[in-house]
């Protein structure tokens, strides 16, 4: 893996974190609220 491979991995990890994190945060807030 070169620098481009590392950057691609970071971007994918960030995208997955946002993709899963936002709905989960919304559901947790909705359940508590």
Alpha helices in the chain (DSSP H): 3-32
Per residue in 14-26, pLDDT (tens digit) is: 999 999 999 998 9
Tell me, rounded to whole angstroms, the distance of Cα 13 from its chain centroid: 6
Q: What is the pLDDT of residue 33?
A: 76
The share of the chain scoring above pLDDT 70, in percent, equals 97
**pLDDT at 10 (0 to 100):** 97
Please report, for residues 5, 31, 32, the alpha-carbon distance to residue 14 in angstroms, rounded to integers and kept in the order given: 14, 25, 26
* pLDDT at position 19: 92
pLDDT, position 9: 96
**Average pLDDT, stretch 3-31?**
93
CA neighbor of 25 nearest in space, from 14, 33, 13, 9: 33
């Amino acid at each position: 893996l070169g620098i481009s491979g590392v950057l691609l991995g970071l971007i994918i990890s960030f995208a997955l974190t946002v993709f899963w994190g936002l709905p989960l945060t919304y559901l947790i807030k909705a359940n508590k609220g």
